[in-house]
């Protein structure tokens, strides 16, 4: 399938021929549909907390012990999608066409003075709705003629302007957030920000502009780590016949494998507790009290879940310990270990297993299949308990793009809570379609993780990925159709085999900027 030049290209990227061959094979056979049992709702699957529960969760976080914490911010993408409509408008104007007044590009120009990056020196004073003025504003926003925002990452774009004249980038708002709810006892705040190598200097410049002022203002010391998405995680593209896609130079085309590749970056974090939030999900600081409160709630629920799971694991160690348990001296039975086997069926062990199964079912929506023996029952429960933890905030569905929470059937016969993208749902299946229609919430990517096991060791997160939970998307290259392979997403397939809890959070804590006009929403204005 591959030439010597192909093999050299593959190995130069840090990948292997076997890996690329497996990717091509995945295009051919596709991904299996996940079996949806039901949507996760407040009735089952999503916790809705009253005021007392909110206070209790936040307090649990404030008083919990943990082996380090940090904020993880995916910020590697360019803002091209954010300005897609503006590029279309600019192209139309350059071609001699006029824009309708309700076109996104026209609305943007008409309200240019409301954006944090507006300056009269660059854009001039609004004079008319004429094509020449609109073209000038769009060009100065998108191209190197002005701000060059069309080729810059979202993190370094100016999002918010304050009444005192301060202007903050999205990255700066994450710094302000971090010092509030992720501060360590010594006054430090740790952030890991995943960026593209070509954008590193932009982030370093943005950080240098505010570091001293914020550390003085908030009494914090930042520890910033910039990480890159490994090129080895890029996946090969194929044509419509599932053959490796070749460029005009006859080389293989590789593409970033979606946010699923970030599980490798997350796996390299040493801290136990990690808060994940997308770079564009920030708001004016006046909303920080609500944002911080609910982030502490998620952190508290994650740590409470961690402590419960770890407690059960320690109890299993005690109850099923041969030194303390009763022993049967029967010998000569094939597969029978007189030291261990009877310990799994003692009244203490059976009662503990009943308790664990009830907790998994009632709290995590994990229903276990019947085990063949008491020993296999304990082993299955231990495997379910001893996994990384994620607690995800869920907001009521308002039509925003994003994955939704569902209860699904696992390959081992159990059930679990999962975040599914719409592309992962079989729309030809009546039950799956009905579950989607009845879904009440969606995932705003506000997630808290606990990444250490009950012995204090870091989990190898790559062992908990469901490789069957990726998907194939249609793209193009220089006008030619191709298929792209998306690795199991960071907050869905890459975390499939984690212990998961969904908590409803207020809509005011979710303020993404997917398109530039989102910056006109109240959360981003004074």
pLDDT digits (tens, 9 = 90+) for 207-251: 999 999 999 999 999 999 999 988 889 999 999 999 999 999 999
pLDDT band, very low/low/confident/very high, at 355 (cuts 50, 70, 90)? very high
pLDDT digits (tens, 9 = 90+) for 111-150: 999 999 999 999 987 767 788 999 999 999 999 999 999 9
Spatial separation of the C-alpha atoms in residues 386 and 394, rounded to whole Å: 24
Q: What are the start-end ranges of the E strands in 162-313?
A: 167-169, 188-195, 221-228, 235-236, 254-255, 273-277
Question: What is residue 125's predicted lDDT score, i.e. its pLDDT?
Answer: 79
pLDDT digits (tens, 9 = 90+) for 266-303: 999 999 999 999 999 999 999 999 999 999 999 999 99
* Count of beta carbons in the 10 Å neighbourhood of residue 5: 12
For residues 289 and 344, the model is more confident at: 289
Question: What is residue 325's predicted lDDT score, i.e. its pLDDT?
Answer: 40
Percent of the chain with pLDDT over 90: 81
Determine the average pLDDT of the residues in 53-69: 97
Q: How much is the pTM?
A: 0.92
In sequence order, the β-bridge partners of residue 254 are 236
Q: How big is the chain, counted in residues?
A: 526
* Count of beta carbons in the 10 Å neighbourhood of residue 408: 21
Residue 79, pLDDT above cutoff 80: yes
Question: What is residue 507's predicted lDDT score, i.e. its pLDDT?
Answer: 93
Q: What kind of architecture, by CATH, is found in domain 4-79+153-309+385-507+516-524?
A: Alpha-Beta Complex (3.90)
Spatial separation of the C-alpha atoms in residues 7 and 209, rounded to whole Å: 44
Pick from 465, 379, 461, 471: nearest CA to 420: 471
- Extract the tokens encoding 127: 């004079």
Spatial separation of the C-alpha atoms in residues 342 and 119, rounded to whole Å: 77
Residue 329, pLDDT above cutoff 50: no
pLDDT band, very low/low/confident/very high, at 320 (cuts 50, 70, 90)? confident
- Extract the tokens encoding 338: 């007189």
* 23 φ, ψ (degrees, to nearest 5): -65, -45
Spatial separation of the C-alpha atoms in residues 464 and 460, rounded to whole Å: 8
First vs last Cα of the chain: how many Å apart?
Answer: 58
CA distances, 305 to each of 318, 338, 394 (Å) = 20, 35, 17
Determine the average pLDDT of the residues in 194-200: 94
Residue ranges in 320-373 assigned as alpha helix (H): 347-364
Mean pLDDT (the chain) is 92
Residue 334, pLDDT above cutoff 80: no
pLDDT digits (tens, 9 = 90+) for 370-427: 999 999 999 999 999 999 999 999 999 876 656 789 999 999 999 999 999 888 889 9
Question: What is residue 401's predicted lDDT score, i.e. its pLDDT?
Answer: 56
Question: What is residue 400's predicted lDDT score, i.e. its pLDDT?
Answer: 61
Question: What is residue 324's predicted lDDT score, i.e. its pLDDT?
Answer: 43
Residue 351, pLDDT above cutoff 90: yes
Determine the average pLDDT of the residues in 39-52: 97
Kindly report the CA angle at 303 between 222 and 214, in degrees rounded to 5? 15
In a 10 Å sphere around its CB, with 0-12 CB exposed, 13-18 middle and 19+ buried, how is residue 63 labelled?
A: exposed
CA distances, 150 to each of 31, 82, 139, 140, 264 (Å) = 34, 8, 10, 10, 28
- Extract the tokens encoding 179: 């010092």
Spatial separation of the C-alpha atoms in residues 396 and 504, rounded to whole Å: 8
Domain spans of the chain? 4-79+153-309+385-507+516-524, 81-151
Determine the average pLDDT of the residues in 258-269: 93
CA distances, 476 to each of 91, 178, 240, 251, 253 (Å) = 19, 38, 11, 16, 11
For residues 338 and 496, the model is more confident at: 496
CA 456 from chain centre, in angstroms, equals 24
CA distances, 385 to each of 85, 123, 206, 274, 360 (Å) = 47, 58, 42, 19, 9
Pick from 207, 181, 179, 214: nearest CA to 193: 207
- Extract the tokens encoding 398: 């308002």
């Amino acid at each position: 399938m591959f030439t010597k030049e192909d093999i050299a290209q593959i190995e130069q990227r840090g990948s292997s021929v076997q890996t690329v061959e497996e990717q091509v094979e995945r295009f051919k056979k596709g991904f299996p549909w996940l079996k949806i049992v039901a949507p996760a709702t407040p009735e089952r699957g999503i916790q809705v907390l009253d005021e007392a529960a909110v206070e209790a969760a936040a307090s649990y976080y404030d008083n919990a012990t943990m082996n380090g914490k940090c904020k993880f911010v995916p910020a590697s993408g360019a803002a091209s999608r954010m300005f897609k409509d503006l590029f279309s408008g600019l192209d139309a104007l350059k071609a001699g066409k006029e824009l309708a007044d309700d076109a996104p590009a026209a609305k943007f120009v008409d309200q240019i003075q409301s954006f944090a990056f507006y300056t009269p020196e660059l854009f001039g004073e609004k004079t008319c709705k004429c094509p020449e003025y609109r073209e000038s504003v769009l060009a100065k926003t998108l191209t190197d003629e002005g701000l060059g925002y069309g080729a810059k990452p979202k993190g370094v774009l100016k999002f918010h302007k304050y009444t005192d004249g301060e202007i903050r980038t999205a990255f700066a708002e994450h710094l302000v957030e971090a010092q509030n709810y992720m501060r360590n006892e010594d006054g430090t705040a740790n952030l890991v920000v995943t960026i593209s190598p070509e954008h590193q200097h932009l982030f370093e410049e943005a950080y240098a502009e505010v570091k001293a002022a914020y550390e003085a203002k908030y009494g914090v010391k930042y520890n910033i780590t910039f990480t890159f998405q490994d090129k080895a995680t890029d996946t090969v593209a194929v044509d419509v016949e599932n053959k490796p896609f070749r460029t005009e130079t006859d080389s293989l085309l590789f593409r970033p494998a979606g946010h699923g590749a970030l599980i490798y970056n997350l796996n390299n974090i040493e801290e136990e507790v990690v808060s994940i939030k997308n770079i564009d999900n920030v708001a004016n600081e006046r909303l920080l009290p609500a944002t911080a409160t609910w982030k502490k709630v998620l952190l508290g629920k994650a740590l409470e879940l961690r402590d419960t799971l770890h407690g059960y694991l320690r109890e299993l160690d005690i109850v099923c310990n041969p030194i303390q348990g009763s022993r049967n001296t029967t010998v000569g039975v094939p597969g029978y270990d007189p030291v261990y086997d009877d310990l799994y069926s003692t009244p203490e062990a059976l009662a503990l297993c009943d308790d664990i199964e009830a907790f998994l079912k009632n709290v995590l929506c994990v229903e276990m299949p019947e085990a063949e023996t008491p020993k296999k029952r304990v082993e299955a429960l231990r495997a379910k308990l001893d996994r990384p933890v994620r607690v995800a905030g869920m907001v009521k569905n308002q039509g925003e793009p994003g994955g939704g929470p569902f209860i699904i059937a696992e390959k081992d016969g159990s059930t679990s809570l999962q975040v599914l993208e719409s592309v992962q749902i079989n729309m030809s299946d009546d039950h799956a379609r009905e579950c989607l229609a009845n879904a009440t919430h969606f995932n705003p990517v506000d997630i808290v993780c606990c990444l250490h096991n009950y012995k204090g060791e870091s989990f190898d997160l790559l062992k908990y990925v469901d490789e069957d939970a990726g998907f194939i998307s249609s793209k193009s290259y220089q006008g030619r159709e191709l298929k792209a392979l998306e690795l199991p997403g960071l907050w869905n397939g890459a975390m499939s085999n984690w212990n998961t809890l969904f908590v409803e959070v207020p809509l005011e804590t979710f303020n993404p900027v997917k398109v530039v006009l989102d910056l006109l929403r109240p959360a981003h204005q004074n």
